[in-house]
């Protein structure tokens, strides 16, 4: 079978579930588009000889039983939901890459020694309801009724009602995941590191830790004309000094540290008033916990020193503090070998993921690895999201080689 044409046919079929006129997909958890997608996928799996079944919340598994070690299962997949007006690759590509790779292995090599399982996770994005990783957190018995029973979507539909409407319900017994030996997720990079370095395959060694802050600076609102520079307590000036200094420090600290001041809300936000207050966000990420903590100390110190210099009061709220998640070393090394075998070592890059993925949940329980393919201009969460078809095919071929090593070799 031809990997490219198989993938393109499946991608067209699944993209039609929630597909938008101008390209891209809106496929929110438990929506009609979502139901169409998972039921289309289930019948496709059944037609292709997989044993397909849902868990209680709607995670879909498709299994090819192993001949010799059926209890050792090699799993691959990703999530089936999208953001509002998302692309056709974020999540969906990981599901279809697993399907095409497993089909192709079966066509070429017959039944594997170990079992192969495709996984289409119900939800990862947190785009319909204010809850992310519903799929993978249920997979590992981490999500509970209490987490979602009181939440609703933007139109006021309760989580529970939407779930029941789609034919699913809370799990009543814990899932067993002990039979899974390895999990490999293929995903688009959603950044432009691979593109800018002209690499075809990223071998993900971990998912960055991240700290998110809301910082409030309080100075004094004053008339912009009658208040000399020396009598001001200008919160925006203090912000600009903090953002400027921390950006310089982050650049000097070096990759893969990133820092972002994405949100800036001055008060009163008017041309002729010295801004007496500003609230801004900091998002800081690094793959190494020690270095992330080191930089967090610089953030604290900078805010405190500049606030003192500029005579403003500060409040620092660190509301997200997620540790980095390292991928399984041995599995990463298997993936690297496979990638080098398929595309050559000069076309591969071992790299951290700057974005969160289902794999960060899996890695805590199961040896896990990820394969990245490039994103054109780094665009994602947008209908313009795209990857060259040659790069998509390479990603599938690398996964196929990994699954071959893991499931077909002694």
Interface residues with a copy of itself (CB under 8 A)? Answer: 189-193, 196, 208, 210, 212, 222-231, 234, 236-237, 239-244, 247, 250-251, 255-266, 268-275, 278, 281, 283, 285, 353-356, 378, 380-381
Nearer to a copy of itself by C-beta: 12 or 196?
A: 196
Q: Considering the complex, what minimum distance in angstroms separates the CB of residue 43 from a copy of itself?
A: 34
Nearer to a copy of itself by C-beta: 108 or 315?
A: 315
Q: Considering the complex, what minimum distance in angstroms separates the CB of residue 124 from a copy of itself?
A: 14
Number of Cβ within 10 Å of residue 314's Cβ equals 18
Q: Considering the complex, what minimum distance in angstroms separates the CB of residue 282 from a copy of itself?
A: 8
- CA proximity to 352, closest of 284, 246, 267, 256: 256
Q: Considering the complex, what minimum distance in angstroms separates the CB of residue 258 from a copy of itself?
A: 6
- CA proximity to 115, closest of 62, 43, 38, 78: 62
Nearer to a copy of itself by C-beta: 118 or 371?
A: 371
Q: CB neighbours of 100 closer than 8 A, spacing ≥ 6? A: 3, 6, 7, 10, 396, 400
Largest CA distance in the chain: 84
Q: Considering the complex, what minimum distance in angstroms separates the CB of residue 232 from a copy of itself?
A: 8
The tokens for 356 are 């969160």
Q: Is 135 within 8 Å of 123 (Cβ atoms)?
A: yes
Alpha-carbon gap, residue 69 to 113, rounded angstroms: 6
Nearer to a copy of itself by C-beta: 3 or 243?
A: 243
Q: Considering the complex, what minimum distance in angstroms separates the CB of residue 327 from a copy of itself?
A: 16
Nearer to a copy of itself by C-beta: 27 or 286?
A: 286
Nearer to a copy of itself by C-beta: 34 or 239?
A: 239
């Amino acid at each position: 079978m031809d990997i490219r044409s198989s993938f393109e046919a499946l991608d067209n079929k699944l993209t039609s579930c929630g597909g938008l006129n101008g390209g891209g997909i809106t496929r929110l958890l438990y929506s009609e588009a979502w139901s169409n997608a998972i039921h289309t996928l289930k019948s496709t799996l059944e037609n292709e000889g997989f044993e397909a079944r849902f868990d209680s919340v709607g995670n879909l598994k498709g299994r090819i039983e192993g001949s010799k070690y059926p209890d050792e299962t090699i799993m691959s997949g990703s999530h089936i939901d999208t953001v509002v007006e998302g692309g056709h690759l974020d999540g969906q590509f990981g599901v279809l890459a697993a399907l095409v790779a497993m089909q192709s292995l079966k066509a070429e090599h017959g039944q594997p020694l170990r079992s192969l399982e495709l996984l289409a996770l119900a939800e990862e994005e947190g785009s319909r309801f204010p809850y992310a990783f519903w799929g993978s957190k249920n997979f590992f018995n981490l999500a509970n009724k209490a987490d979602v029973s009181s939440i609703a979507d933007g139109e006021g539909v309760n989580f529970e009602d939407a779930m029941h409407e789609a034919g699913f319900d809370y799990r009543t017994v814990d899932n067993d995941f002990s039979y899974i030996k390895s999990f490999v997720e293929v995903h688009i990079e959603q950044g432009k590191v691979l593109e800018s370095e002209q690499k075809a395959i990223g071998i993900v060694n971990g998912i960055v830790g991240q700290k998110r802050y809301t910082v409030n600076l309080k100075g004094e609102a004053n008339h912009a004309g009658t208040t000399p520079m020396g009598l001001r307590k200008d919160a925006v000036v203090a912000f600009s000094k903090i953002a400027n200094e921390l950006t310089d420090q982050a650049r000097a600290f070096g990759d893969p540290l990133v820092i972002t001041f994405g949100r800036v809300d001055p008060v009163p936000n008017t041309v002729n008033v010295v801004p007496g207050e500003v609230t801004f966000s900091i998002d800081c990420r690094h793959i190494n916990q020690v270095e992330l903590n080191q930089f967090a100390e610089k953030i604290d110190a900078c805010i405190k020193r500049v606030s003192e210099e500029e005579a403003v009061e500060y409040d620092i709220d660190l509301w997200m503090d997620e540790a980095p998640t390292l991928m399984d070393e041995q599995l990463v090394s298997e993936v690297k070998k496979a990638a080098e075998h398929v595309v050559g070592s000069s076309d591969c890059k071992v790299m951290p993921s700057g974005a969160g993925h289902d794999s960060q949940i899996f890695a805590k329980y199961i040896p896990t690895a990820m394969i990245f393919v490039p994103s054109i201009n780094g665009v994602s969460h947008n209908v313009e999201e795209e990857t060259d078809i040659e790069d998509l095919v390479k990603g599938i071929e690398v996964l196929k080689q990994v699954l071959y090593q893991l499931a077909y070799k002694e």
